Chains A and B, each alone.
Chain A
Amino acid sequence: SQQGEEDPQALSIQEGENATMNCSYKTSINNLQWYRQNSGRGLVHLILIRSNEREKHSGRLRVTLDTSKKSSSLLITASRAADTASYFCATETSGSRLTFGEGTQLTVNP
């Protein structure tokens, strides 16, 4: 079974709007990562947030982590057409393995 589950499965917005994706997980984690995958390509690492951190920023990306709710969110501000991709959360649990969710498909319309 998947450790991380993204929500929503698909999201369509207009260029310039903000996009928010959520990830829920089941067991305690050491860190949580977000990846992007453009169609037909491999995954690209975006950001890592550790279990003792609550928020992290990287450019137009903002990630929050709420370990009490076992959830994380990825916010992309001022979205661009080039942000169109699938976004995956990945959790690292005991045993140091990454477990990926099924992803959120984001479409940014120009």
Chain B
Amino acid sequence: QLRLQESGPGLVKPSETLSLTCTVSDDSISLNYWSWIRQAPGKRLEWIAYVHSNGEVNYNPSLESRATISVDTSKNQVSLKLNSVTAADTAVYYCARGSTGRYFWGQGSQVIVSS
């Protein structure tokens, strides 16, 4: 069964860049779309972006200027970079299979933005 494992630093300083990696457990990385979705404390789930290995990407306009999503099929990994972070970027970040909906979710990675 597919497993998605997010990994990241856990703590990021304000104004720095948040970097997260999602490792996909099977060989489906080239066949599917992959998304990042976050859940800030007390806030609703927020779709960040999706990517496909064919080069297609799409971003939430609210985060497009700061986010970069990518896929590395040789490593079976999907990555997210979010620059110029603030406390408002504190959240659990989920990797998910799917582009727009019908998501299959990883366990999530907690990221706290604090000095």
A and B: bona fide binding partners: no
Chain B interfacial positions (CB closer than 8 Å to A)? none
Chain A interfacial positions (CB closer than 8 Å to B)? none
